[in-house]
Every structure is written in structure tokens, then in C-alpha cells.
Amino acid sequence: MRVHPFIGAGENRRQQRQAARELLQASRAASYARRTGTPGPRAARAAELTEQITAVHERSP
């Protein structure tokens, strides 16, 4: 179900976005990340840690 193109297409966009987040059980951060297409701070940090962990595993015997 693709709802996101229709979110915010009305007079009271804030209320519509809030209702859609509640319906989809999504956090505000998740909806903003979806709109902007950029990962949030937590996702960026997780990617950094994944790279570090992978490097450590590759160096270990």
C-alpha cells in the first residue's frame, strides 16, 4: 500500500501526516527520513559501526 504520495496534500498537512504515521505505526523520524531519502543519525552511526566491525573481523585470524 503506497500512502506517502498523498500525505500532506490538503489544508491541514500536519494533522494528515500525524494521522498517517499513527495508521502506519511509524515514528516521526521514520516519516521524515522517508520524505528526504537520507538516513537519520542513528542509521548513519549504525553504518559506521558496521564498517568498523567488518574491518575488525576481516583482520582477525
pLDDT digits (tens, 9 = 90+) for 25-61: 877 777 677 777 777 788 889 999 999 999 999 998 8
pLDDT at 4: 57
CB-neighbour burial class of residue 36 (10 A; exposed 0-12, middle 13-18, buried 19+): exposed
Angle 35-45-39 from CA coordinates, rounded to 5°: 10
Domain positions in the chain: 4-59
**Which range has highest mean pLDDT (1-5, 17-21, 27-31, 50-54)?**
50-54
pLDDT reading at 3 higher than 80? no
- What is the pTM assigned to this prediction? 0.44
